[in-house]
Structure 1
Amino acid sequence: MIKINKRKFLGLALIALLIGILIGQGLAQAKPETYEDLKLFTQALELVKNKYVEDPKTRELIYGAIRGMLSSLDPHSSFMTERAYKEMDMDIRGEFQGVGIEIGIKNSQLTAISPIEDTPADRAGIAAGDKILKINDDWTKELTIEEAVDKMRGAKGTKVRLLIYREGWDKPREFPIIRDVIKVQSVKYKMLDTDIGYVKIRQFQGQTGAEIEKALKTLTEKGMKKLVLDLRNDPGGMLDASVDVSSMFLPKDTLVVYLQGRNASDRKDFMSTGSELYRQYPLVVLVNAGSASASEIVAGALQDSRRAVIVGTQTFGKGSVQTVYPLEGGVGLRLTTAKYYTPSGRSIQNVGITPDIEVKLPTVKEPKEGESVHMILREKDLDRHLKNDTVKEDHKKQKSAEEDLTLEMVPKDDKDDIQLQKAIELLQPAVNSSDVVKNVPVSAQKEKQK
């Protein structure tokens, strides 16, 4: 019988596993130093396995190593646990079980970006800008966003405890929250005036294109001839959905966006499928700092084609694309694989989309009950963000602590929403789609062309 030294076998197996991953990802011709680094990793792993005061689980060590590797990249590359990977399809459908809160890392602290309306977190009183110190008994300081999401999600009816600190409080407070099924309604719509329709996209999901088409058909039947497309506080979502939405307002075979990977040959163009029915509608698009990713693709495509006027404030500035790869054991890897560019070749990474007409909403320091607020946070504020290869990095002074806590409020009453009122003002005299662009002040048009 052949005896095997388990520890040596483990080390060799891990080298084979890691090299196998490299080959599987198309890196078979890795540089010699790559294999030297793998030896270093294996040496460290064996030391931990042999010398650590307790007997660690090998799988947890490997998962930790993968998380550490990805944490050295951009903020959107991450390791997906088995549950997070399984729930990915639910996210695409806009349905999951949890507390209903958008989170991010701000100044190395897990922070509530915005609670989703009418969810357990919203009803419990969690507010934008709240710092999440603990999830149950686990401190969040060293957690990644994926780990935090995984801890907050769970079966409907189960309880999770969040320790929250809010600016102005003497000490943190604990919020017990009962998890529920969170259904994110992708599209909302209504008539604003006799002939002005309003469509709000909250997130770009698998069915968003079909939902938008249904909304536009319904509004048209009610007499809509002009449209406000609201992308404010829309964090993005699926790339295909953004192309579907853009296609409804652009001629067929118009470039919507293109992706560019590491190599020059890695370019991929996404063209519009076209829609005769809605192409001539005068159109105004609303954006703000919460408009990210897929929202920016739509805004950029419609702006570059001069199909719509963009009103609001500078968008988030997420100009990268992530691909999810399955790994052994039912887990996954979300990896940034490309940057995207608007039809004119603009990268919005770190800079966002500049509106044709800037209109700022009111800001508040502390939200009052019932107010819809969103923390002003952009890609350039995130640690390890990718650089923009088409513009110079803005090295302005760091924000003060006071500026970090600024919250933007979208008024509930349409009459108080100055961005929406500006859109209506632009649309009222318009007859054709080109009329809206003509109504843009000359100064704004010049600024756009810079």
Structure 2
Amino acid sequence: MKPHKVKLFFYFVLLLTFIGGALFLNGGQRAVTAGTEEAYPDLEIFTEVLRQIQENYVEPQDPKKLIYGAVKGMVQSLDPHSSFMTKDEYQELMLETKGSFTGIGIEITIKDNILTVVSPIEGTPAYKVGLKAGDKIIKIEDKSTKNMTLMDAVKRIRGPKGTKVKLTILREGERKPLVFSITRDVIPLKSVRAFLLEPGIGYVRISTFQSKTAKDLAKAVGDLEEKGRLNGLILDLRNNPGGLLSQAIEVSDYFLDSGIIVTTKGRKHSQDIVARAHKNGETRDYPIIVLVNGGSASASEIVAGALQDNKRAVILGTRTFGKGSVQTILPLSDGSALRLTTARYYTPSGRSIQLSGIQPDIELAFVPPEKKKKKNEEKRFLREEDLERHMPGEGKEEPEEKGGKETSSPVKRSEKAKELIERDNQVRHALQLLKTWNIFSQMKGISAAK
């Protein structure tokens, strides 16, 4: 047999290994279906094309590169979330879910055939320069993203710490493309942070769902509870692109004592899962408000849907991203892997959120804060005390001049809490709702006691 034919035969075996791995992995000892058997004759066309390229193309080609390209194209034709990963890409993905990676810190997807930002990860270079959920990336450096695969885009955007990458963006409301030059950095995926907004009301931000998110959440909420009884909690899932399904289930379970969390349904029975909540050691009966927006996707939507359908939380914000599918990582024999959509998921009430997303109970868009006005420019209503020759109040001292001491003691807040409440209208609204909730609960308790 001629050397090039031996090589071609070797790569044909490699292709069959790919297909066999994809068909049988996680499939137990089940027989290949009739549909699969029908696909095998079509492989003759593939090998014929491969042979023609090997023998007649103007320049010699690497067969492995050709096969990898064909496999990528095949998987890319399925849906925006399925992809083929080389060995290096697979290893990088595994590192990412466990701790950190080097890049700019964005989650991307293909939407309407355009590379689109799902959300920037909080505190990362992408977040700091102002990339937003929904931004359409039309160029990476000077390379058009048209027909670019997700994995290729990720590879181009990532790079060594300290180097720069230029992204050209189309943004709704902007007449011209925006160009961002972003310096890459190590992206530490600290997925949970928490603090008190004021005594009795906690704020927990989950930025992504990675391998230790549920554990970190339990510690964060436990620390808040040690500072005194919690009367309410704001759970912030805005711009959270998702992550591990298992962690979304554990986070939901942390706040629920019973009921269904999520149901997944696929072609195989092994993909059909009904995840249920279990009674936890401590009862957490305080009200919860979950913040969401268009950058809340996948695992975030599972948590929001579970708490909403089980009447455990009020959802506030804007409609979520609408990714209602589950991807499974299938390792292949040569160290590469498939990221394959294997199931759809449904909220406890049976809703599929694919495309429709989670509709908030309270629709409230985020309003960017205006620049601070100077003290003398701040709007102030004219009051009785401002009128000349005003009558003194009965049994009360005159109010102090502007800039003097406040007569009532303000709520004690940390600088972090003050800054967040001042610049974030959705957090402010959620805080007011929780405070009102507590007032009405107290009134109800008084009425019941009479």
TM class by smaller structure: 0.7 to 0.9
Question: Residue 97 of structure 1: which of 99, 102, 118 is its match?
Answer: 102
2:437 pairs with 1:430: yes
Partner of 1:29: 33
Query: CA 1:336/1:276 → structure 2, altered by over 3 Å: closer, same or farther?
Result: same
1:234 corresponds to 2:271: no
| CA separation of 1:105 and 1:287: change in aligned 2, threshold 3 A | same
Change in 2 beyond 3 A, CA 1:83/1:29: same
Q: Look up the SS of the partner of 1:192 in the other structure.
A: strand
Q: Distance in 2 between matches of 1:222 and 1:47?
A: 72
Q: Which moved more, 1:265-274 or 1:349-358?
A: 265-274
Q: Which of 409, 413, 417 is the aligned partner of 2:424? A: 417
Question: Secondary structure of 2:350's partner?
Answer: coil
Post-superposition offset of 1:352: 1.3
Secondary structure of the structure 1 residue equivalent to 2:437: coil
Equivalent position SS for 1:211: helix
Q: Which residue of 1 aligns with 2:354?
A: 349
Q: 2:118·2:239 contact (CA, 8 Å) conserved in 1?
A: no
SS of equivalent to 2:198? coil
**Residue 294, structure 1, aligned to residue 299, structure 2:** yes
* Structure 1 counterpart of 2:351, one-letter code: R
1:182 counterpart = 2:187: yes
Q: Per-residue deviation at 1:228?
A: 1.0
Separation in structure 1 between the aligned mates of residue 24 and residue 231 of structure 2, nearest angstrom: 52
Q: Tell me which amino acid in the other structure corresponds to 2:433.
A: L
Change (3 A) 1:435 1:260: farther
In the other structure, the counterpart of 1:404 is none
Report % sequence identity. Answer: 48
Deviation at 1:361, TM superposition (A): 2.4
> What is the CA–CA distance in structure 2 between the aligned matches of 1:124 and 1:226, rounded to whole Å?
33
User: Which of residues 68, 72, 77 is equivalent to 1:72?
Assistant: 77
Displacement of 1:8: 6.1
Q: Does the C-alpha gap of structure 1 residues 290 and 282 become closer, same or farther in structure 2, counting only changes over 3 Å?
A: same
Does the 8 A contact of 2:326 with 2:342 survive in 1? yes
* Offset at residue 93 of structure 1 (A): 2.3
State the 1:128 CA deviation. Answer: 5.5
1:273 shift after superposition: 3.5
Checking the alignment, whether the CA contact within 8 Å between 1:124 and 1:177 is kept in structure 2 is yes
Which residue of structure 2 lines up, in the alignment, with residue 448 of structure 1? none
Q: 1:61 to 1:230 in 2, by over 3 A?
A: same
From the superposition, tell whether residues 210 and 17 of structure 1 become closer, same or farther in structure 2 (CA, over 3 Å).
Answer: closer
Whole-angstrom CA distance in 2 between matches of 1:209 and 1:12: 44
- Match in the other structure for 2:63: 58
CA–CA distance in structure 2, aligned partners of residues 159 and 256 of structure 1: 42
After superposition, residues 151-162 of structure 1 pair within 5 angstroms as 151-162=156-167
**Corresponding position of 1:320:** 325
Q: Which amino acid aligns with 2:20?
A: G
Tell me, in whole angstroms, the C-alpha distance in 1 between the residues paired with 2:221 and 2:102: 30
1:17 is matched with which residue? 17
- Aligned counterparts of 1:140 and 1:240: Cα–Cα separation in 2: 32
Alignment of 1:378-389 (within 5 A): none
Number of the residue aligned with 1:262: 267
Q: Helix, strand or coil: the match of 1:204?
A: coil
Q: How many angstroms apart in 1 are the aligned matches of 2:166 and 2:436?
A: 53
| Distance change >3 Å, CA 120–CA 263, structure 1 → 2 | closer
- Check the 8 A contact 2:168/2:177 in 1, yes or no: no
Give the aligned residue type for 1:88: L
- After superposition, residues 62-211 of structure 1 pair within 5 angstroms as 62-122=67-127, 131-136=136-141, 138-162=143-167, 173=179, 177-211=182-216
Conserved? CA contact 1:14–1:42, under 8 Å: no
Secondary structure of 1:248's aligned partner: helix
What is the rounded CA distance, in whole Å, between the counterparts of 1:243 and 1:349 in structure 2?
18
CA deviations over 1:243-275 (Å, ceiling 9, x no partner): 1111121115x3211211115674212122432
- Structure 2 distance, partners of 1:248, 1:10, is 51
Q: 2:6 corresponds to which residue?
A: 6
Could you say what secondary structure the match of 1:9 adopts? Answer: helix
Unpaired runs of 5+ residues, structure 1, are 369-410, 439-450
What's the TM-score, normalizing by structure 2? 0.76
Work out which of the residue numbers 242, 251, 260 in structure 2 matches 1:245: 251
Counterpart CA distance in 1 for 2:245 and 2:192 is 16
Gaps of 5+ in 2: 372-417, 445-450
User: Which is higher, the Rg of structure 1 or of structure 2?
Assistant: 2
Per-residue deviation at 1:190?
Answer: 1.6
Q: Tell me the secondary structure at the aligned position of residue 238 of structure 2.
A: coil
Cα distance change of structure 1 residues 265 and 96 upon mapping to structure 2, 3 Å threshold: closer
C-alpha spacing 1:23/1:305, structure 2 compared with 1 (3 Å)? closer
User: For 1:329 and 1:38, how far apart are their aligned partners in 2?
Assistant: 20
| Shift in CA distance, 246/414, structure 1 to aligned 2, threshold 3 Å | same
Q: Is the 8 A contact 2:133 2:295 kept in 1?
A: no
Q: Residues 67-87 of structure 1: CA distance to partner in whole angstroms, max 9, x if unpaired?
A: 111121111111112222101
Distance 1:8-1:124 versus aligned 2 partners, 3 A rule: closer
70 and 412 in structure 1: CA distance in 2 versus 1, 3 angstrom threshold: farther
**CA drift at 1:421:** 2.8
Alignment-derived partner of residue 271 in structure 1: 276
- TM-score, normalisation: structure 1: 0.76
> Aligned to 1:36, what secondary structure does the other structure show?
helix
User: What SS class does the counterpart of residue 330 from structure 2 fall into?
Assistant: strand
CA-to-partner distance for each residue in 1:307-364, whole Å, 9 max, x for gaps? 1111122211111110001123321110001111112222111111122222222389
**Closer, same or farther in 2 for the Cα pair 1:231/1:125, shift >3 Å?**
closer
Distance 1:356 1:132, change over 3 A: closer
What is residue 441 of structure 1 aligned with on the other side?
A: none
C-alpha deviation, 1:28, in angstroms: 2.2
